[in-house]
Amino acid sequence: MRICIFSGSNPGRLATYSAAATALGTALADAGIGVVYGGASVGLMGAVADAALGRGGEVIGVIPQSLVDKELAHKGLNDLRVTGSMHERKALMADLSDGFIALPGGVGTLEELFEIWTWAQLGFHKKGVGLLNVEGFYDRLIGFLDHVAAEQFMKQPHRAMLLVEREPAALIAALQAYEAPVVAKWIGRNET
């Protein structure tokens, strides 16, 4: 099994963000679960990779050539795959992975999270998608997503597809037990 990690290329304001990234990388490696991530050596991305590598775990980095040119690629990986674009990067990361976890991060992390969750909602894959809600980082987003479901722009089973935990072990267990719901996407429309 491999889990794709979406996370910040910056460490964030709190040291607990980096500590959580390290704990997640360690927990994945200790569980024999490979890491697929954005291939960089910086921020939370680098912390996850370094922790998994330090425990002898499998780590696959996927990075576009434009970021390799900016010298952001992790030089300690035994498997670094270079793509021509961000689109190719995300597609390859998805293909290599059996589930997805978002750590705290910025717009890029959110974009990756929402795209992969949308693909799940549309039935393009049946892989689990989760948030590691470090220090309540995602609390406001979770509240907004509950509002989206309450306003009927998303079905509750689709809202429930996004797994949320505060500890790496609990989120890993939730992803391992995940079964995709079978529910039509559109509200008020009969589908066959």
For residue range 126-140, list pLDDT tens digits in order: 999 999 999 999 999
Domain that includes residue 36, residue range = 2-177
The number of distinct structural domains making up the chain is 1
Place of tokens 């775990």: 57
Q: What is the pLDDT of residue 183?
A: 76
Q: What is the pLDDT of residue 28?
A: 98
Identify whether 83 is part of a domain: yes
Q: What long-range pairs does 105-111 form, CB within 8 A, spacing at least 24?
A: 105/6, 105/7, 105/8, 105/9, 105/44, 106/8, 106/9, 106/10, 108/6, 108/9, 109/6, 109/7, 109/8
Q: What is the DSSP letter of 126?
A: -
Identify whether 108 is part of a domain: yes
Identify whether 185 is part of a domain: no
Distance CA 168, CA 166 (A): 7
Identify whether 187 is part of a domain: no
Q: Is it the case that residue 192 has pLDDT exceeding 80?
A: no
Q: What is the pLDDT of residue 58?
A: 98
Residues 6+ apart with CB under 8 A from 93: 4, 36, 37, 38, 62
Identify whether 184 is part of a domain: no
Identify whether 158 is part of a domain: yes
pTM: 0.93
Give the CATH number for residue 121.
3.40.50.450
Q: 148-163 pLDDT, tens per residue?
A: 999 999 999 999 999 9
